């Protein structure tokens, strides 16, 4: 039995499924899901994320979060949270970079929001020596000041897709033809949540909606509003998405999302406007990752690290710096949005 066979049987019995349900099963099915069964990261995996490219990424994120903590009077008990921590590399770099900040580690409760048992085990190995706590959902965050980061987490949350048809919308669905999975469209229906998209779309245009993402922002933003804190949301996407952004990656190359159910990474672009609209606290303008990292001093940090490097290590280090910041690489595609309390300062690197 494979996930493909399981989905075909399920669709044969119950009819076509929403793209969001397909995406959830592909990524997190308890037996066959991509994150449940694979180690997707790095050169030997299917994709490489910023924290896996260079330690500088996590170090600078750590300093930005610690700066917000100090700006808010260094609260003596707080949550240091990461959503979708992957291998745990980003959190390890955050913790190493903030070791010297007086009182920060003593006051921090490290909390990881992670769905995959396999990745929880990996995070536990990477963070040996610390005492992280794992939770399943944002609702379980304690009522404390909350300093949080999410890198390439929101792009993994399941989206629904709708195609404009007159004044209504047809939902894109996954159905079957013979034994293959195929895309189709459901009946026309009104979608009140898409009312704001009638101005900028025409017949045949596709828009996406991610209720899991907006629910998380609503809950996290409420914590920050009520108790203080800050959050850095880093992902690819833009202020408003239009068109089909569902993408499957295997061995660092795009593949058909319907052909490799559970075997490939599935993501969609993040619609930052939808996150902003759901956010109950203040939020920064979205800032390209390259600009954000430059403002936090990545070039100086890169030069310092380079002093102890030679030959191939130095070459890789220079390339990593470029990869994270250059507009033709990750510098522009990836955006950063900061959440912060209404009367507070935006996180360092995200100043207007």
Positions that interact with ligand SAH (CB under 6 A):
27-28, 35, 41, 49, 51-52, 84-86, 90, 113-116, 119, 151-153, 156-157
Least Å distance between CB 63 and ligand SAH? 18
The Cα-based distances of 115 to 58, 135, 138, 209, 212 in angstroms read 21, 8, 12, 21, 14
Among residues 8 and 274, whose Cβ is nearest to ligand SAH?
Answer: 274
The span from the CA of 150 to the CA of 83, in Å, is 5
Residue whose Cβ sits closest to ligand SAH: 84
Least Å distance between CB 240 and ligand SAH? 23
Instruction: Return all residues near 283 (Cβ < 8 A) that are at least 6 apart.
Output: 221, 275, 276, 337, 338, 339, 340
Residues in the chain, overall count: 352
Among residues 157 and 350, whose Cβ is nearest to ligand SAH?
Answer: 157
Least Å distance between CB 148 and ligand SAH? 12
Question: What H or E segment, with its residue span, contains residue 133?
Answer: strand 133-135
Contact 39, 122 (CB under 8 A): yes
Among residues 71 and 329, whose Cβ is nearest to ligand SAH?
Answer: 329
Among residues 125 and 202, whose Cβ is nearest to ligand SAH?
Answer: 125
Contact 230, 65 (CB under 8 A): yes
Least Å distance between CB 223 and ligand SAH? 17
Least Å distance between CB 185 and ligand SAH? 26
Among residues 72 and 79, whose Cβ is nearest to ligand SAH?
Answer: 79
User: How far is Cα of residue 311 from the mean position of the Cα atoms in its chain?
Assistant: 34
Least Å distance between CB 87 and ligand SAH? 6
Helices (H), ranges, the chain? 3-14, 19-28, 34-37, 50-53, 55-71, 89-97, 104-107, 117-126, 211-227, 272-278, 289-295, 298-306, 311-325, 330-333
Contact 323, 329 (CB under 8 A): yes
The span from the CA of 80 to the CA of 107, in Å, is 9
Among residues 114 and 209, whose Cβ is nearest to ligand SAH?
Answer: 114
Q: Which two tokens stand for residue 26?
A: 């592909």
Least Å distance between CB 137 and ligand SAH? 8
User: How far is Cα of residue 85 from the mean position of the Cα atoms in its chain?
Assistant: 9
Among residues 49 and 98, whose Cβ is nearest to ligand SAH?
Answer: 49
């Amino acid at each position: 039995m494979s996930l493909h066979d399981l989905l075909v049987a399920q669709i044969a019995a119950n009819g076509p499924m929403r793209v969001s349900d397909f995406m959830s099963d592909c990524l997190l099915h308890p037996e066959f899901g991509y994150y449940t069964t694979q180690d997707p990261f790095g050169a030997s995996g299917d994709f490489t994320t910023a924290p896996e490219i260079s330690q500088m990424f996590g170090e600078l994120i750590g300093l930005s979060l610690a700066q917000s903590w100090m700006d808010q009077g260094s609260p003596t008990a707080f949550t240091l949270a990461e959503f979708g921590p992957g291998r745990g590399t980003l959190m390890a770099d955050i913790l190493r970079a903030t070791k010297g900040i007086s009182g920060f580690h003593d006051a921090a409760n490290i909390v990881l929001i992670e769905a995959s048992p396999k990745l929880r085990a990996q995070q536990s190995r990477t963070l040996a020596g610390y005492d992280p706590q794992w939770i399943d959902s944002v609702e379980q965050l304690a009522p404390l000041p909350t300093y949080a980061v999410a890198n390439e987490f929101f792009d993994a949350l399941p989206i629904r897709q709708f195609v404009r048809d007159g004044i209504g919308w047809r939902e894109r669905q996954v159905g079957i033809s013979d034994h293959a999975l195929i895309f189709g469209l459901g009946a026309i229906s009104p979608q009140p949540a898409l009312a704001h998209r009638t101005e900028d779309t025409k017949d045949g245009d596709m828009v996406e909606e991610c209720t899991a993402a907006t629910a998380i922002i609503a809950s996290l933003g409420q914590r920050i509003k009520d108790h203080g804190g800050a959050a850095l949301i880093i992902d690819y996407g833009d202020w408003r998405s239009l068109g089909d952004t569902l993408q499957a990656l295997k061995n660092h190359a795009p593949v058909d999302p319907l052909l490799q159910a559970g075997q490939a990474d599935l993501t969609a672009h993040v619609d930052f406007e939808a996150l902003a609209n759901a956010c109950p606290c203040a939020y920064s303008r979205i800032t390209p990752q390259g600009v954000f990292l430059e403002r936090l001093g990545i070039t100086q940090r890169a030069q310092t690290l380079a002093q102890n490097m030679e030959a191939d290590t130095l070459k890789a280090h220079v390339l990593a710096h470029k990869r994270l910041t250059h507009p033709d690489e990750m510098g522009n595609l990836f955006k950063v949005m900061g959440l912060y309390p209404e009367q507070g300062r935006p996180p360092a690197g995200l100043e207007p």
